[in-house]
Amino acid sequence: MSATDLAAVVVTLLSMMMVAVMVVAVQSLVRTLKELRLTVDELRGSTLPMVEDLRVTVAKAGEGLDRVDGIIDRAESITTTVDNASRLTYKAMAPPLIKTISMVAGAGRATRRLRWGRSARVIEAGSAPASRLEEAV
């Protein structure tokens, strides 16, 4: 055996070892890809129902928000109506109430004047000078 033959044998053995290593690596890669495919299938099988449940939940939440929006619109409408009614009631009731209070106060003064005579008028006035006050008494 010559050096060339020996080199050819060594290169052949090294090539066979490299092929064997490559075969083991490819088998490991194929095994890992199969496991990855199984894992992806399991994830797909479990996540698709979750996504569907999520869609249903989002749809229900949207319906709930629509209902709440309607309730808020109605509440705003009621608030506006009550505010207008309150304002109209105040405008309708305030003048007669003020007039009634004025009439009661005037009637009270008139009753006191009639009851006590002329002296009550001078005393009530409070701004009469002392000489007029003496004349009245």
Band (pLDDT 50/70/90 cuts) for residue 130 is very low
Q: What percent of the chain has pLDDT over 70?
A: 85
- As a whole number of angstroms, the distance between CA 17 and CA 114 comes to 137
Q: Is the pTM of this model over 0.85?
A: no
Which residue type does 10 have?
Answer: V
Please report, for residues 100, 101, 103, 120, 127, the alpha-carbon distance to residue 113 in angstroms, rounded to integers and kept in the order given: 20, 18, 15, 6, 16
